[in-house]
């Protein structure tokens, strides 16, 4: 097999649920050997399926592809001893436990860096060090709330809304992976690792960066704009109904606010309403916003004659920005996305064949086939016997003592 981008990099994964697991899955998809440490018998909390006890949760399978699972009791002295030995042989240590938990186990950054000064040590928390909320637990919706995203999402007259995409969890995972890659690169010149701390609140604020333009311009909170543009009150910019009228049968249409743009003209030509293009009331994106309800009605009259994909194709071919509202069902059945590997098939030992989201970046000289999330402790023999050189008798003794 050809070398991969992170060939030879070993990652100790002490993460759970989504933010940390997305980070380590990203590193695994880039070719790192990710060793996921889980509780004996129970495994990571995210493994548990409330609907089907005893079977790996679907959410766990989605965010733990390409990893190796070992069991290890970190509350036992023998378990801690084994973890210290693993630390000497790995390049990255990452955890997203509750605030202070890893330090109480004796594996804070100072402890780990003394064992292996070259290790890149990454932590994901809800809030940053020094925050008045530093010791608070956090999850996706809390980070969306405190990071500004919820305040920007929803109808202008309605309450703040939780975004559908997991910007806090998955976004934090991706950004942490980027920081880890940078630290590994820096280690080539310094010879030592470093500590990385990423707070979910901070990441969400970063994703909202464009919305701060209105804050700076007007000196007040950027408002919710529904399907509009957060940067300015312009039209048309909305999701328009299409046939046959299902809950996701909509197409989003937006024409640029840039001076000299011909997209508004192309839209009017395409829907057969050049009278709107010639109407002085609709001369600018801002003036069109004042009459947006009239414009939206005219556009909807045209879109309702087409499916969302037909509307997207007709408008796109005419130079008008348009995008069908694709549901998860649309995406998972899309032949192009299947062919590209954005939706990829895995085989789970209990659940059988499953389609899961794949890895977005495509690299010419690094290809890592997607493999299923590991069964609990599936790689105990490989890691303990291979990496640490334990005998079968030693491994069996550890199992009997409930260390692994």
119-97-148 Cα angle (round to 5): 105
> Are the CB atoms for 337 and 32 separated by under 8 Å?
no
User: From the CB of residue 156, how many other CB atoms can be counted at a distance below 10 Å?
Assistant: 9
Distance CA 339, CA 341 (A): 5
Distance CA 401, CA 404 (A): 8
User: Could you give phi then psi for residue 359, rounded to 5 degrees?
Assistant: -105, 125
> Are the CB atoms for 206 and 137 separated by under 8 Å?
no
For the chain, how long is the longest CA-to-CA vector?
86
Helix (H) or strand (E) holding 26: helix 19-29
- Integer angstrom CA distances of residue 25 from 13, 95, 174, 225: 10, 13, 9, 34
Choice among 169, 202, 249, 296 that is catalytic = 169
- Per the annotation, the verdict on 169 as an active-site residue is yes
List of residues 6+ apart from 139 with CB closer than 8 A: 126
Show which residues are catalytic: 169
């Amino acid at each position: 097999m050809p070398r991969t981008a992170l060939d030879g990099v070993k990652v100790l994964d002490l993460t759970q649920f989504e933010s940390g697991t997305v980070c380590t899955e990203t590193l695994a998809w880039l070719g790192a050997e990710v060793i996921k440490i889980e509780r004996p018998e129970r495994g990571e909390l995210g493994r548990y399926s409330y609907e089907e006890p005893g079977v790996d949760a679907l959410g766990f399978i989605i965010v733990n592809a390409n990893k190796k699972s070992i069991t290890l009791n970190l509350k036992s002295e023998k378990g801690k001893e084994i973890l210290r030995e693993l630390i000497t042989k790995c390049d990255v240590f990452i955890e997203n436990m509750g605030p202070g938990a890893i330090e109480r186990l004796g594996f804070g950054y100072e402890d780990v860096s003394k064992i292996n000064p070259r290790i890149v040590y990454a932590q994901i928390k809800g809030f940053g060090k020094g925050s008045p909320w530093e010791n608070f637990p956090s999850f996706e919706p809390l980070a969306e709330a405190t990071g500004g995203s919820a305040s920007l999402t929803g109808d202008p007259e309605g309450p703040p809304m939780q975004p559908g995409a997991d910007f806090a969890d998955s976004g934090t995972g991706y950004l942490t992976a980027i920081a880890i890659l940078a630290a590994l690169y820096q280690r080539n010149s310094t010879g030592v690792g470093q500590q990385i701390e990423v707070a979910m609140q901070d990441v969400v604020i970063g994703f909202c960066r464009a919305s701060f333009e209105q804050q700076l311009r007007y000196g007040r909170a950027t408002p919710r704009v529904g399907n509009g543009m957060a940067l300015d009150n312009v039209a048309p910019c909305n999701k328009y109904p299409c046939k046959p009228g299902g809950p996701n049968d909509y197409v989003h249409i937006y024409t640029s606010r840039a001076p000299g743009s011909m997209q508004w003209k192309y839209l009017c030509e395409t829907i057969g309403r050049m009278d709107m293009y010639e109407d002085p009331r609709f001369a600018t994106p801002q003036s069109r916003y004042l009459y947006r309800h009239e414009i939206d009605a005219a556009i909807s009259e045209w879109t309702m004659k087409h499916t969302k994909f037909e509307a997207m194709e007709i408008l796109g071919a005419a130079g008008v920005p348009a995008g069908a509202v694709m549901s998860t069902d649309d995406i998972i059945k899309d032949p192009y996305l299947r062919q590209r590997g954005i939706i990829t098939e895995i085989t789970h030992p209990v659940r059988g064949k499953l389609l899961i989201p794949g890895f977005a970046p495509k690299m010419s000289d690094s290809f890592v086939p997607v493999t299923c999330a590991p069964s609990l402790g599936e790689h105990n023999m490989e890691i303990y016997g291979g990496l640490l050189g334990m005998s079968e008798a030693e491994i069996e003794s550890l199992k009997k003592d409930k260390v692994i």
